[in-house]
Amino acid sequence: MNAMNQAISDIGIVPVIKLNHPERDAAPLARALCAGGVPVAEVTFRAAGADTAIRLMKEACPEMIVGAGTVTTTAHIDAALAAGGQFIVTPGFDPELVAYAQSKNIPVFPGCTTPTDYHAALKYGLELIKFFPAEQSGGLAKIKAMSAPFPQFKVMPTGGISLKNLAEYICAPVIAACGGSYMVTADLIDNQKWDEITGLCKKSVEIIKEARKNA
């Protein structure tokens, strides 16, 4: 894998974040994630000000890997890049967005859940793809089945991942990392429960280390 993909894989979990108050919450959230050993974030464009959140998180913790999620337009890509975003995640496979991201030299992880999606990703030379929504689309069993005809890909499942099933996913060789929002729920962020977020990140890191050691 390339350097960015490998760095994300080494961490193993990518918090998927929706920030309603980026000016207030982005910096302390970044510090809470890093304190928990999870220096990476996917900031979704489902909320206004996602680009502001990316910029503020990078300013607070320059060592973090911060990217943009729920990217559905080229304007989102431009905004993410201008804010210092380091990767792009799309909900589905959109050839225009993948090509545009590649033309801007920013890693892109499109949502892929079908053989058709995987074929398309193959044509664009991708090596890491998002499997979304993971649990609702067949979960780990389907991901493993899809890896048989497409061994080229590492997968980042997102959707339905929790502390309860993180180990099951992460110990599978096809899984590079998991995306999750359980450590960055609206309740935790809106009520500024930074210590709880750090604690959940630490638990996630422990689970990942143990699962990979025993895989």
Q: How far is CA 160 from CA 53, 132, 196, in A?
A: 24, 9, 20
Task: Locate 206 and state its tokens.
Answer: 């422990």
Report residue 108: phi and psi, to 5°: -130, 135
How does DSSP assign 87-107, residue by residue? -EEESS--HHHHHHHHHTT--
Q: Which residues are catalytic?
A: 42, 130
CA 213 to chain centre: 22
